Amino acid sequence: MEIAESSRKRLFIGLISASTLVVCCVLALLWIVPTIGLAQIHPLAVPAWGALMGVAILFVLWACLGLTFSVALGRHLPFTRRMRGLTIKLFLPLMIIIARIFGISKERVRNSFIKVNNELVLAEGKRYEPGQVLLLLPHCLQSSRCSVRLTYDIFNCKRCGLCPVHGLLALTEAYGVHMAIATGGTIARRIIVQKRPKLIVAVACERDLASGIQDAYPLPVFGVLNERPQGPCLDTLVPLTVLENTLRHFLGSKAAPAPVIPRLAPKPGPLLDSKHGEA
């Protein structure tokens, strides 16, 4: 496990360094090319433009250096918090393009990005009130056999035990955090506006978590990958123990005693289907 986490860190640092090099080269070209004609406009135009591009290059390099040290040391350098966020938000698409050139899949890049993001969120060392935490879930956690609509009110769940939602309800009731199901980015943004959390603990796949972390910035998002035994977007699962440990970490002394998490019911057969057809 430690080897895998170290590999994800190295991948992320390598890609963010390569992305920084590309951006610096582009900025250098933006400085060199216009200088041919700028001298005809004003004698100070060339040095002024050069100074502007130099500041931009230094900004990018400092942001990359700050992020690299934060990942390696698990804490932030002075004056790098905002630049770290800008780097993560702006550079991920470029990192994916560079990774594709070297034959690295998007999933590996996103997985590395999520892992590093989680470590940086933990490095903030903040603790939250239960009402400041939002547990945001994908709709694919709900059983595909279920006919109850949970998007607008997850407490409509009948707790039949056919999907992880009943265990998630036990967690939110024990710890007092907000919880909601989102079917897409638009609904997720509306939920965030309504709840106004200080921290989001999000469960999703690599693609949705990576885009959600970017969309929610500067709001911190701790990502928990779902499990997909039936493939993507169908009857997915969530590691409830990992989720509970995450909540306990961020709530600190405000964490409630560990609840007994209900287990999933056996896979339904014909009789169970008819019994829980409305669940």
Q: Are 199 and 102 in contact (CB under 8 A)?
A: no
According to CATH, what is the number of the domain 130-275?
Answer: 3.40.50
Please identify which residue in the block is written with the tokens 């603790």: 127
Percentage with pLDDT > 90 across the chain? 11
If you count them, how many residues does the chain have?
Answer: 279
- Burial, 45: exposed, middle or buried (Cβ in 10 Å; 0-12, 13-18, 19+)? middle
pLDDT over 90 at 202, yes or no: yes
At residue 198 the predicted structure's pLDDT band, cuts being 50, 70 and 90, is very high
Q: Are 95 and 115 in contact (CB under 8 A)?
A: no
- Return the domain boundaries, the chain: 2-123, 130-275
Quick: pLDDT tens for 177-197: 999 888 777 888 888 888 899
Alpha helices in the chain (DSSP H): 2-32, 35-38, 45-73, 81-101, 106-123, 165-175, 185-195, 206-216, 240-251, 270-275
Q: Return the structure tokens found at 110.
A: 């996103």
Average the pLDDT over 217-246 and give the result: 88
pLDDT over 90 at 53, yes or no: no
Distance CA 243, CA 225 (A): 10
CA atoms within 13 A on the CB side of 128: 23
pLDDT over 80 at 34, yes or no: no
pLDDT of residue 277: 38
pTM for the full model? 0.74
Angle between helices 206-216 and 81-101 (to 10 degrees): 150
Quick: pLDDT tens for 121-136: 887 888 999 999 999 9
pLDDT of residue 38: 63
pLDDT over 60 at 76, yes or no: yes
pLDDT of residue 73: 66
pLDDT of residue 80: 59
pLDDT over 90 at 8, yes or no: no
**Whole-number mean pLDDT of the chain?**
78
Which range (198-202, 230-234, 264-268) has the least confidence?
Answer: 264-268
pLDDT of residue 273: 40
